[in-house]
Chains A and B, each alone.
Chain A
Amino acid sequence: MAFLMIFLPIFLSIVLYLGTRKDESQTKYIAMGWFGLQLVYALVLLSQLPEHGMLDLGTYLSVPEFNFDLKLQVDALSVIMLILTAGLLLLVSLTSWEEKNQGGYFSLLVLFSGPIFGVFMTTNVLWFFMFWELTLLPMLFLVGVWGGERRIYAAVKFFLYTHVASMFMLVGFFLLYKQTGMWDISMIKEAAIATPALVWWLMFIGFAAKLPSFPFHTWLPDAHVEAPSAISVLLAGVLLKMGAYGLIRFTVELMPETTKEFAVYMLAFGLVTTLFAGFLAVYERHIKKMVAYSSISHMGLVVVAISTMTYDGLSAALYEMVGHALVISPLFLIAGWFHHKTHTWYLDEMGGIMKKAPYISAIFILAGMAGLGLPGTMGFVGELTIIVSAVKSFGWWIAIIALSGLITAGYIIWAVRRSIHGEISPAVEKAEFVMSMPERVGLSIFAILIIYFGIRPQPIFDLANQAFSFLGGM
């Protein structure tokens, strides 16, 4: 079953594309059916997880001479990512209800769903890399075909940038295999206690570019701005999480001693990313670019939390990863919807949207407030736990990270002030703010989850407890 969850979508996407060429209307239902199945499967895995360690899902395509096989195992960390991925794919489908060329679009989403499950399910380093790279292909086409005016530039830049960074990671994996003679994470862990610094840095570059951390972040604003909003959600909600997942899995978990040695550099990257991207967001007129910089800034917080290498820090990182996906997604979706209706990307050319679209504006404000850490939302819990864990690990000086909350407040309140409130601008005056029911449902689910997990964060922290039980030995 686990094997099918990864490989079936690859063939399903081809069948879906060819089978619905004459009548594309059914494609989205079939795709949603598949994503629903994946979500159910992920929830079943959640119910079967052992107290500690990993749940074995089988070994396939074995090459004993190369110690190479497709070993599928999951723990709480991977299952959370699987649930997040399948859930986001479902919500993205809802919010893409009226997308053009639905046959190709939903086929590519289905194609994406296979390797991304592979990324989070395999414990074989080389297979992990293969799935990691394969996720780029559907994204390349989704951005390149369905994106905005500069979509081709953005798609090719995104593809090349992350691909080049991955090459460093691959050399790191090769060196790791040379050192240990094993491709499987759980076995490498025991053999690679003192990993050479070179291996660590090669891997870090690959993951940092995906996160993206400063100075490897320049591909993301272009990709986000040009991608259709629903694809921006996948970029921010799933693709960036691959970077954070990789950092946790391959640096903290796999090479704890070496990571300890370089934790301070990781912290520096995280801090600079958070503050630098935050300041860029403040100066941004382009609503989607502002959200993109906000996304980068929040991922910087995740890096800070990971760099603590403590149970508290990693739990906070995991919570923030989920929170970031749920908070940034409606911001992207609504920013894209505003543009679609008003034909402008610029905040100062919008204004008074609240008067014409109060329901959607309210969700935008809610997500924005969650982004700046308003109590009662996921943003508050995530940012607070990160700050507390960072202070515990690095001392009081790290409280400067709280500045990021202030910066976020600056650009979010300013954006709300300019686009949502104020006088109705000519662009808004002319626009008809009508949203389809599935899109409304999708956005509402995001809003409900932001508040639900903001008030009841415990289910995520319970899973974090399971995920990071290995820290008990540190």
Chain B
Amino acid sequence: MSFAILIIAGLIVPLFYKKHITVAKIVTAAAFAMSALFIFMGNDLSQFFNYFASDDATRLIEYVVLLTLVAVSVSLTGFERPMLAQMLFLGGISLAILETTNMFIFIVLFEAIAIISYVLAANIRNYYNAEGAIKTFIAGAVAGGVILLGFAIFSVITPSFDYATMEVSSKYSLVAAAIMLAGIFYKLTIVPMHGWASDAYAQINHAVASILSGLIKSVILVAVFKAFYPFFKSFPSVSVLIFSFFAVVTMTLANFMALWQKRVSKVLAYSSIAHSGYALIPFAAVASKYAYSGILYYAIAYTFMQTSVFMILNGLRKDLGIKYIEDLKGLSKKSGVYAFFFTAQLFSLAGIPLLAGFLSKAVAFYAGVDAGLWPLVLVALLNSALAVAYYAWLVKHIYFDAPEDDRTSTIPTGALIGQSILLAGTIYFGIVAGQVISSSMM
């Protein structure tokens, strides 16, 4: 039911959003709320199909996904309104991919999310947006092709697509899984498959970037871990090698690239890529009982933080024309509320305690230490400290520099509600770790 409600609401909402945007937003929010209620009541896809299963951890990330989508939906204005329907479809597909226990369904849903991301990116208002949309589409298509190649090989080898019984022990299945992961790495923006993302996130509409770089990436992280966990367990040493290598390369390159950027969106794009690198650590630490907790916590925290910063940038671009870091000068005086939300989420991304970014990193990185990968964790922590430099640089412009013009901006009510929801999530999971860890211990 939770899935069906979102898909049906996604079909209904386009009837309202042109003339009655408030009604459309209420319907959207109500659909998300009802969906969450049905999840709470245990009325999910596993009730109707054998290819799905839900547990506490899945339900937790589902609530986070729905809450984030509510926050984004209430913030949308103007030409972004058609995105409401896509938010609902994305919500439905996200629930399904998080619940599935079948590799075939996983691949289908993965492609469905890719199609939604193309539609979202097609929210084009200028040439710049168009370039970003084309990059998103081409990279997505290439990734889709690579994943399908891997899946085709895998389908020849395995007698079953069920996660529990699929063939994961032969070297051919390892090759198939590696090819599929190579495609997935495009979506997760892992270096060297990241090139499209640094441009696309910066060029497409920032509200769309918030979904692509924040929510979709987080959902894929969790779903991929669940789908590929049997492979990781069968080939632990290969997993450690591959994921450690890509984690170090991704976080280091992205952090150094972020340091040199002049556009705020580019800094956030590279920051997003760097976070993908950190998120690979629990993948490398598959031997640890905290690996899944690390992934789950990272995904939850990252959803709130990354979605929020791009949504704020979206508002700042529209209201104050902010594109470059220099434009942020004196933001605290131009728009104190935007400045506060932006700073809090940037600090969370930087891993400052009492915000979700810290505890999620702590759990994810501890999984690495627990698996004996402490040198990798030390590199990640030093990278994290390096990243503080560019976050602090943004904060320096926001609070310490004087404004260069006298334009001011008041945050719209919808955005205020949306940002409050996202910040509440960031603070809550920055202090309370119990639910995430207890629901996801392996």
The residues of A with any CB-CB pair to B shorter than 8 Å are 10, 61-66, 68, 115, 126, 129-131, 133-134, 136-137, 140-141, 144-145, 151-152, 155-156, 159-160, 163-164, 167-168, 170-171, 174-175, 177-178
Contacts and interface: CB of A to CB of B under 8 A. Distances in A.
Interface in B319-358: 347, 352-354, 358
B370 A171 contact: no
B400 A144 contact: yes
B399 interface: yes
A66 B365 contact: no
Given A160-B385, A178-B369, A171 B374 contact: yes
Given A64-B438, A152-B400, A163 B388 contact: yes
B353 A130 contact: yes
Given A134-B354, A163-B388, A164-B382, A177 B366 contact: yes
B399 A66 contact: no
Contacts of A126: 362
B181 interface: no
B365 A174 contact: yes
A163 B385 contact: yes
Nearest to B430: A130
Given A137-B347, A156-B389, 13 more contacts: A63-B437, A66-B433, A68-B437, A126-B362, A130-B354, A131-B353, A133-B353, A133-B358, A136-B352, A156-B392, A164-B382, A171-B377, A171-B378
A10 B358 CA distance: 17
Contact of B353 (A61, A134, A152, A175): A134
B233 interface: no
B30 interface: no
Contacts of B396: 144, 152, 156
A167 B400 contact: no
A382 B370 CA distance: 43
Contact of B399 (A61, A63, A141, A167): A141
Nearest to A199: B374
B369 A167 contact: no
A167 B433 contact: no
A164 B389 CA distance: 10
A66 B369 CA distance: 14
B441 A10 contact: no
Given A129-B353, A174-B365, A177-B366, A65 B438 contact: yes
Contacts, number: 87
B366 A61 contact: no
Interface of B: 290, 293, 347, 352-354, 358, 362-363, 365-366, 369-370, 374, 377-378, 381-382, 384-385, 388-389, 392-393, 396, 399-400, 431-434, 437-438, 441
A155 B401 CA distance: 13
Contact of A174 (B347, B377, B431): B377
B363 to A, nearest CB: 8
Interface centre among B353, B358, B374, B438 (most CB of A within 10 A): B353
B419 to A, nearest CB: 15
Contacts of B354: 10, 115, 130, 134
Given A61-B431, A175-B369, A137 B437 contact: no
A196 B432 CA distance: 31
A152 B397 CA distance: 10
A230 to B, nearest CB: 19
Contacts of A63: 433-434, 437-438
B352 A133 contact: yes
Given A130-B358, A156-B392, A164-B385, A62 B374 contact: no
B130 to A, nearest CB: 38
B352 A137 contact: yes
B378 A178 contact: no
A133 B366 CA distance: 18
Contacts of B377: 171, 174
7 contacts: A68-B437, A130-B354, A145-B399, A156-B389, A167-B382, A170-B362, A177-B369
B369 A171 contact: yes
Nearest to B441: A65
B388 A160 contact: yes
Nearest to B354: A134
A61 B365 contact: no
Contacts of A136: 352
Contact of B434 (A62, A151, A152, A178): A62
A75 B389 CA distance: 37
Contact of A68 (B369, B382, B399, B433): B433
A134 B427 CA distance: 13
Contacts of B438: 63-65
A151 B396 CA distance: 11
Contacts of A144: 396, 399-400
Contacts of A115: 354
B381 A167 contact: yes
Nearest to A140: B392
Contact of A61 (B352, B400, B434): B434
Interface centre among A68, A115, A174 (most CB of B within 10 A): A174
A178 B370 contact: yes
Nearest to B395: A140
B430 to A, nearest CB: 9
A39 B366 CA distance: 36
Q: Which 6 pairs, one residue from A and one from B, show the smallest C-beta to C-beta distance?
A: A130-B353, A167-B381, A174-B369, A164-B385, A63-B434, A133-B353
A348 B287 CA distance: 65
A66 B437 contact: yes
A66 to B, nearest CB: 5
Nearest to A136: B352
Contacts of A177: 366, 369
Nearest to A165: B385
Given A61-B432, A144-B396, A152-B396, A170 B381 contact: yes
Nearest to A156: B392
Given A152-B400, A174-B369, A167 B385 contact: yes
Contacts of B370: 178
Contact of B384 (A66, A129, A155, A167): A167
Contacts of B347: 137
A174 B374 contact: yes
Nearest to B431: A61
Contact of A65 (B381, B382, B432, B437): B437
Nearest to B382: A167
Contacts of B433: 61, 63, 66, 68
